[in-house]
Every structure is written in C-alpha cells, then in structure tokens.
Amino acid sequence: MISVRLDEEMEKKLERLAKETKRPKSFFVKEALGNYLDDMIDYYEAMKRKNDPDRELITLEEMKKALGL
C-alpha cells in the first residue's frame, strides 16, 4: 500500500476524470504510474546500453539496408 499527496490542481483533475469516466481515482493513478515506470525502465536500459563500451554500432546506411529501405 502507498499513500500519495497531490497538489490541489492535480487532485481536481483526477476527481473530474474519475467522475466523468465512472472509474475510481486509483485506476488512473495505477495506469499513470505503470506507464511512467515502463518509460523509466526503458530510459535506464537505453542509458546503460549507451554507456556500454562493448556496444556494437552500425551506420544509418547499414540500418536502412537491413530494413530494406
């Protein structure tokens, strides 16, 4: 279980959306957090790969050829 404090504007937006969609506020909080976590996991994986000295790089032309473009 987790508790989160929202500023007044965000709370009003969440209340309005929940009321208009007849969904609980927790639904939108879980969706938003899930999307954010997925993005952060992707970001940190990209940074890890970017900084890997053993990464293999190809040129744009090699990529186009591989994709048949």
Residue 13 pLDDT greater than 90, yes or no: yes
- In which band, very low, low, confident or very high, does the pLDDT at 1 lie, cut at 50, 70 and 90? confident
pLDDT over 90, % of the chain? 87
Sign for the CA dihedral angle at 55, 60, 65, 69 comes to positive
Better pLDDT: 1 or 29: 29
| pLDDT at residue 38, as a whole number | 98
pLDDT over 70, % of the chain? 100
Instruction: Report the alpha-carbon distance of residue 15 to residue 51 in Å, rounded.
Output: 42
Q: Domain spans of the chain?
A: 8-52
Q: What is the DSSP string of the chain?
A: -------HHHHHHHHHHHHHHT--HHHHHHHHHHHHHHHHHHHHHHHHHHT-TT-----HHHHHHHHT-
| pLDDT at residue 60, as a whole number | 95
